[in-house]
Amino acid sequence: MRSVWYPGHMARARAKILEVLPMVDLVVEVRDARAPLSSRSPESGLISSRKPVGVVLSKADLAEEEVTGRWLELLAREGFEFCVALDLREGSCRRELSRLVRRGPRPDARRERRVMVVGIPNVGKSTLINALAGRRRASVAPVPGHTRGLQFYRAEGFLLLDTPGVLEPGEGAELQRRLAWIGCVRADVIGGHYKLAVELLSFLRSRGLMGRVLSRYGFDEAEGEAMEVISRIGRSRGFLLRGGEVNLEEAAKDLLMEFSSGGLGRVSLEVPP
């Protein structure tokens, strides 16, 4: 299966990112700690060949600590400016992020350091910018030249350039499935919530994690076919159609939401090779 979902705004954003890249001193790439490989920016390789890059694994509180540690070791060997795993909602992450960014390069000492933040949709870029610039972040005048349509924000000692999330067109089904589970790809693009939930239950069963579904929904047991489990979820949460039939799509959506938000505990979808 190959997705054709690649909105025009993503193509334009991708071109704009490459256009303004020469103007920045450091790029901070945000990835999801649960899937550091699948959630990397499609321009990651090209960007890192032209500019210093620091990698932030967001939502570290939702991934398995030991697995995330191994990912950080692997990324550190790849020559990134810095690699760190954080829960970006924690107040303490601001100081750590600011320290790492200010430690980075600034070729022109006559101006403030410029930092571009990149990442695929819903991976945590806005949360990172809020952490560094504050929730009531103040925008600054665009840098003359090529920054029309992009926005700079002032942080502590540097400028942050926010960029739209960009996805690679035509990625494989397995990668898209992982991204959908963590909320980075819309479910309707790759078959709908029910299909994704069935596949998620299969994954959880293969990892011996069905007990977490049982615990979260208050079931005595969580065995049976995926449709039966999803149907029980629907009944327990009141997702019923007229006549008492379970709305399987809504029940599936609830399961996916519980997983992506951490309701089923820490789960890493990828382990380092």
CATH for 149 = 3.40.50.300
Answer yes or no: do 152 and 198 share one domain.
Answer: no
Task: Report whether 118 contacts 29 (CB < 8 A).
Answer: yes
Structural domain for 102, as ranges? 8-162
Answer yes or no: do 35 and 118 share one domain.
Answer: yes
Top-confidence residue, 205 or 224 = 205
Residue 178 domain-assigned (yes or no): no
Answer yes or no: do 77 and 151 share one domain.
Answer: yes
Answer yes or no: do 154 and 65 share one domain.
Answer: yes
Residue 225 belongs to domain with CATH number? 1.10.1580.10
Top-confidence residue, 28 or 148 = 28
Answer yes or no: do 64 and 198 share one domain.
Answer: no
Q: Tell me what pLDDT residue 260 has.
A: 96
The tokens for 242 are 């007229």
Are β-strands 53-58 and 26-32 bridged in parallel, bridged antiparallel, or unpaired? parallel
Q: Tell me what pLDDT residue 145 has.
A: 42
Top-confidence residue, 66 or 138 = 66
Q: Is the pLDDT of residue 148 over 80?
A: no
Average pLDDT over residues 167-175: 76
Q: Tell me what pLDDT residue 220 has.
A: 79
Other beta carbons within 10 angstroms of residue 165's beta carbon come to 18
Q: Tell me what pLDDT residue 149 has.
A: 59
- Please give the tally of structural domains in the chain: 2
Answer yes or no: do 152 and 212 share one domain.
Answer: no
Other beta carbons within 10 angstroms of residue 263's beta carbon come to 16
Residue 254 domain-assigned (yes or no): yes
Top-confidence residue, 11 or 22 = 22
Q: Is the pLDDT of residue 63 over 60?
A: yes
Distance CA 213, CA 263 (A): 9
At 3, the pLDDT band (50, 70, 90 cuts) reads: very low
Residue 90 domain-assigned (yes or no): yes
Answer yes or no: do 62 and 157 share one domain.
Answer: yes
Distance CA 47, CA 54 (A): 11
At 228, the pLDDT band (50, 70, 90 cuts) reads: very high
The tokens for 173 are 């089904």
